[in-house]
Amino acid sequence: MTSAPRAGGALAPGSTPCPFCGTAVPLYVEAILARRPLACAGCGARLEVAEGASPAALASLDAWYQGMREAMAAAPEAEPAPKAAPDRGRRGVRGRPRG
């Protein structure tokens, strides 16, 4: 059976065929947004991200990815609430002149 390679965990909404060998190269969002070249698993070719080709697509992808990350980061207990700092310098206890 020859099925398409599955992306393991990483966000790869799509894939593009390698121009050299035709192997489907998954388009990893993180790699694309970081302008990192994608490596073809078939022939090892590096596919550079054509940044100037579709700035609108990259912008929408960036927005989508930010939303995904925020949704994933919205855990029930993300961070412990910072404790209220002790109130220093209370009213009415300023240095009185002695004596």
User: Tokens 């698993």 label which residue?
Assistant: 41
Touching Zn ion, residues 17-36 (CB under 5 A): 18, 20-21, 23
> Rounded to an integer, what distance in angstroms lies between the CA atom of residue 83 and that of residue 81?
6
The reply to whether 38 sits near Zn ion by the rule CB under 5 A is no
For residue 49, the minimal CB distance to Zn ion (Å) is 16
Candidates 40-48, 58-66, 77-85, 91-99; binding stretch for Zn ion (CB under 5 A): 40-48
Measured in degrees and rounded to the nearest 5, phi and psi for residue 47 equal: -105, 110
- Choose, by CB under 5 A, the member of 45, 47, 58, 61 that binds Zn ion: 45
